[in-house]
Amino acid sequence: MIQKTSTVFFLFFIIILEGYVVLSTELLAIRQSIPFTGSGTETVSVIIAAVLMPLALGYHAGGSFKPRAGFGVRKKLILNILIAMVFLIPGLSYIIISDLYNASIEHGLKHRLIHVTLYSLLFIVTPVYLLGQTIPLISNYFGKEKLSRITGRILFFSTIGSFLGATLSTLVLMSHLGVDVTVGLNFIILTALVVLLSKDKFSHVVKVALFLGLVGVVLNSGWLTRKAGIIQSNQYNTIAVLNKNGQRHLLLNNSYSSMYSDTGRKYTYLEMAEKLALDDLWNAHPPKDVLVIGAGAFTFGHEDEINHYDYVDIDKNLKEVAEDYILKEKIKENKSFYPMPARAFLAQTDKKYDVVFLDTYSGRLTLPEHLITLDFFQEIKAHLKDDAVLITNFVGSPNFLDPFSRTLDNTMRAAFPYVNRHVGHDLYEPWNRDEEKIRNIMYIYRHQSGLEEPSIYTDNKNRAFLDKP
C-alpha cells in the first residue's frame, strides 16, 4: 500500500468530506421534512434512526467488501457515491418532497409518522448505507499501519467531518446562505469526491457525477424555489408569501402564519386578540408593555404607536420578510424585536408585561413541544404584572376529541386558574365527531395575585350564599 504523506492526507480528506456529507444530510433531511411532518421528537427520531442503523450496516458491509478483478475499492467508492446522489437528489429537494407529500395525502396517507417513515426509507436509508461504507473501504489503503493507531486516526478525522457537518451546515450555511445553498454544497462535495477518486478526470463516470451534481444544485436553487413562492429557507423556516385578493399571507413551514391586507385586515383570531387585549390600551398613559411570543409578520398591534412592544421569535429573518412583503413598511419605533428562543428570552429578563400574546402554534405539524408545558406556562406567568392579560392561540379540537386538546386544556388550567377558552368563529360544534377537525383555540386569562386556591361546592359544604357578589 502507498503510504506517501500526500496520499495519506488525501485519504483523510476523503474521510472528512464523507463525515460532513452524512451529518449534514441528516440535518437537511430533518429540516426539509419539517413543513410536511413537523418538528416533533417522534418524527425527528425516525430520521435519526434512518441514519444511524444504515450507517452501522454500511460500516459492516464496507469491511466485508472483497475486491475482484475489474472492480476494486476505488470503483466501489465511486459507484457508492453515484448511487447515493441518485437517491439524495429527490430526497433533499423541497419541490419534489412537496409533490410527493401532496400525492400521498391524495392516496389517503395522512399520519405524519407514516410520511416520515416512507420518506426515510425511500431517500435516506440507501445513500447513508452506501456512504457509510467509505471508512472501511478507505482503510484498505492503510495495510501497513498499526491497527489501533490508524483506527484512532480514521475515527478522529471522520468525527471532524461530522462536527463540521453539524456546525457549519446549521450555524453558518443555513442561517446565512439558506437551506438551498447548503443542499447544493452537499452535491458539489459528492461530485468533487467522484472527481478526486477517478484516475481519468474526463471519464464517463466523472461526466455522470457532474450531471447529477448539476441536477441536485438546480433542483435546490433559489431561482426554482422562488418560482414556488418561497422567499427564504433557513434552519428554522421555509418562508413563503402568497398574494391573493389584496391580502398578503405569510406561510411558515407550509402553514399560514400571518396576513395583512391593503385595508389593514388581519386574521380573525388576531383581530379578536387585539380587541380583547388592546382596545382599552390604544391611548394608554403611561404606555403599557406588550410581549408577543411568535412574531409572525409583526401584525399584532402593528398600528399601535403608543405602547411598548417586544416581539420574540427564533427566526431573525422574519422582520425583514414582514417589512418587505407583508406590512410594506418598517415596524414602528415603539417596537423591538428579539430573535431568540422564547424560553431563553424569558430566562434572561425580569421584565413584566401588561399584555402577553402567545402565538407560536400554526398547526399540528409545527407544534413547538417545549412551549406547551406547565413549566413554560409558569415562566410566562412569572412575567405578568398584576391585572395583566394573557391571550394564547393554539390549534386543536374544538370539542376535545383528541388527547392533545384535553391535556393542553388541563395544562393551561393548572398554570392559569379561571382561564377562559374560546373557539375561533364560535365553531364549538358539540355534535361533531370528526377527530381530524381542528380550529383556532384561544385562552384568555387575567392575572390576579392573591386569589384563593380553587375550591368546589358540595352538598356537604356550600358557601355560595357568602361568595355571591
Q: In this structure, which topology does domain 5-225 adopt according to CATH?
A: Growth Hormone; Chain: A; (1.20.1250)
Span 383-404, average pLDDT: 94
Q: Is the pLDDT of residue 3 over 80?
A: no
Looking at residue 336, the DSSP 8-state letter turns out to be: E
At residue 1, the pLDDT reads 47
Sheet holding 255-261, edge to edge: 230-233, 238-244, 247-252, 255-261
291-326 pLDDT, tens digit per residue, is 999 999 999 999 999 999 999 999 999 999 999 999
Q: What are phi and psi of 400, to 5 degrees?
A: 60, 45
Across 68-72, 303-307, 444-448, least confident range = 68-72
Rounded to whole angstroms, the Cα distance separating 66 from 71 reads 9
Ordered DSSP codes for 353-408: EEEEEE-----STT--GGGSSHHHHHHHHTTEEEEEEEEEEEEE-TT--SHHHHHH
> First CA to last CA across the chain, in angstroms?
93
State yes or no: pLDDT of 140 exceeds 60.
yes
Among 166, 310, 311, residue whose Cα is nearest residue 235 = 166
Model confidence pLDDT, tens digit, residues 282-292: 888 999 999 99
Largest CA distance in the chain: 97
Fold assignment, 262-446: Rossmann fold (3.40.50)
In whole angstroms, what is the distance from residue 90 CA to residue 228 CA? 16
Distance CA 389, CA 15 (A): 56
Task: Tell whether the model's pLDDT for residue 387 goes beyond 70.
Answer: yes
Is the N-terminal amide bond of 286 cis, ω within 30° of 0?
A: yes
| 400/23 Cα distance (integer angstroms) | 40
pTM (2 d.p.): 0.87
What percent of the chain has pLDDT above 70?
Answer: 97
- DSSP-based three-state secondary structure for 152: helix
What is the band of 144 on the pLDDT scale with cuts at 50, 70, 90? low
Task: Specify the amino acid at residue 254.
Answer: N
What beta strand segments (E) does 49-155 contain?
none
The CA distance from 460 to 415, in Å, is 28
The chain-wide mean pLDDT, for the chain, equals: 92
Instruction: Give the pLDDT of residue 416.
Output: 95
43 — alpha (psi -120 to 50), left (phi > 0) or beta? alpha
The pLDDT of residue 2 = 47
Domain ranges of the chain: 5-225, 262-446
How many other C-beta atoms can be found within 10 angstroms of the C-beta atom of residue 218? Answer: 14
